[in-house]
Amino acid sequence: MRAWVAPVYGPPRILRLQELSDPQPGPGQVLVRVRAIGLNFADCAARLGVYPRVPKPPFVPGMEVSGEVAALGEGVDGPAVGTPVGAVPVFGGHAELVAVDARFVRPLFGPGDFVTGAAVAVTGLTADHALFTLGRLRRGERVAITAAAGGVGTMAVQMASAAGARVLAVASTKAKQELARALGAQETEGYEGYRRALAGGVDVVIDAVGGSLFRTGWNALNADGRYVLYGFAAALGPGRVRYLHAAVELLRMGLVAPSAMVQSTKTLSGFNLSLVPHLAGELQSRFARIEEMLAAGTLKPVVGAILPFERLPEAHALLQGRASTGKVVVQL
């Protein structure tokens, strides 16, 4: 099979397209023939060597794919060979074949729409968990969503709006803000106006950026406010990890004293989908609700760019450079 290999940690240009031996599914695994790759910011972080539990080079990145079942490992009785599926291998997905634990594989809800199938699992589950499990979002509350034009952000804006919340979507450009408004956001703002936009308070913050934005959002939380941090995009530049900048941004986040959280009745939660594999069963059942919304047309994945497999490093550069909106998908 062909696969994109990271021989060292580094920027998108380090990726190399190589011929590797076809993987074989182990016990409890499903072998997926990949038809589309859903690119996530986590893939950029893994390539840079700053993602949790990232393998040592050389390794094949790739968190999310869609395709067809090619073979079943010992102890697995489905989905049947040939079934269109979505899968979250976390690593190894930038390839023509990938072996994935069966608990992270699900038949596609649509009729073999591999692009959509590669664009909904990670973003949908992250947005759902952040908003409704950790954020405990209630109808009528005000929620601020940073990176609102990204893969998770576009899902979160739609979900929060459908739940009856008032959505403040924060994005870097007017075009991205207009996209968020078209998806249901009642308020939009750029990062330079974030502090001003939060005047009057907010009940929930869903944040992928971190850094100095955290302190601004945390201070704006109402009593019983919930802050969910699921990324630290402030640390990553267009091609590399900005370590000095990241250190400064960490300092700007300040300290949160547990006693102060009690007195203010605020909640701070961190979330990384790849680090909660024990929730696979629960997430599978919750994804069924996401599929219902997709089928009803009340939730639509925003695919901002589709590139061929041979141009996968360009897709990485597009995403890491913040030049994309919605989900970036690589098609085989």
CB atoms near residue 85 (< 10 Å): 22
Using the structure block, give the residue that is written with the tokens 């695919």: 303
DSSP string of 149-191? Answer: TBHHHHHHHHHHHHTTPEEEEE-SSHHHHHHHHHTT-SEEE-G
pLDDT of residue 266: 94
Is the pLDDT at 255 greater than 80? The verdict is: no
More confident residue, 270 or 111: 270
Q: Give dist(CA 219, CA 225) in Å, integer.
A: 10
**Are 5 and 58 within 8 A, CB to CB?**
yes
More confident residue, 231 or 167: 167
CB atoms near residue 133 (< 10 Å): 16
pLDDT of residue 111: 64
pLDDT of residue 286: 86
Instruction: Quote the mean pLDDT of the chain.
Output: 93
pLDDT of residue 330: 98
Once rounded to an integer, what is the mean pLDDT over residues 267-288?
89
pLDDT of residue 247: 78
pLDDT of residue 42: 94
Confidence of residue 245 (pLDDT cuts 50, 70, 90): low
Quick check: helix, strand or coil at residue 236? strand
pTM recorded for the entire structure: 0.92
Tens of pLDDT, residues 179-238: 999 999 999 999 999 999 999 999 999 999 988 899 999 999 999 999 999 988 777 767
Domains and CATH numbers, the chain: 2-119+301-331 (3.90.180.10), 123-274 (3.40.50.720)
Is the pLDDT at 64 greater than 90? The verdict is: yes
